[in-house]
Amino acid sequence: MTTLTITLTDGIKLGQDILTEAVLRSPTAGDVMDAQEESEKLVETIDGPRLVSSPTLSGAGMLRRQIVRIGNLEGPLSRADLAKLTPRDLLALQRAADKLDDALAGEALADRGRDSGVGK
């Protein structure tokens, strides 16, 4: 499993400490399923009850699960802990997760013997 370490600009305050070193890991199929399920909500419609999924909550659920730790705060982060981040730290974590996703996609293409076309 691939990991990536980044330094958050603002960090999360835990007691007197400000935690800034974040470690993320590549996602698993279980992360995708759990985040999707967590984002579902039963709503009443004209046609009866339906499950709807929030892309925002699904994305946040994926990110929470990909965070191995921030400082000594072990992941996956709770929604409450994720909400404590500043917007720029959240964006930094999202960009790091995107890099891991891109690396995973590149590995999948390489495993199938296909060229990703990057750098051409």
pTM of the model: 0.79
The mean pLDDT of the chain is 87
Identity of the residue numbered 79: R
User: What are the domain boundaries of the chain?
Assistant: 3-108
Provide the CB-side half-sphere exposure for 28 (13 A, CA).
9
Reported for 34-38, long-range contacts at CB under 8 A and 24+ positions apart, including other chains, are 34/61, 34/65, 35/59, 35/60, 35/61, 35/62, 35/64, 35/65, 36/61
Total residue count of the chain as it appears in this document? 120
Q: What is the pLDDT of residues 77-111, one digit of tens each?
A: 999 999 999 999 999 999 999 998 887 665 554 44
Mean pLDDT per 10-residue segment, the chain (120 residues): 92 92 93 90 91 90 95 92 95 94 63 52
H/E run at residue 9: strand 3-14
Main-chain phi, psi angles of 112, to 5 degrees? -90, 0
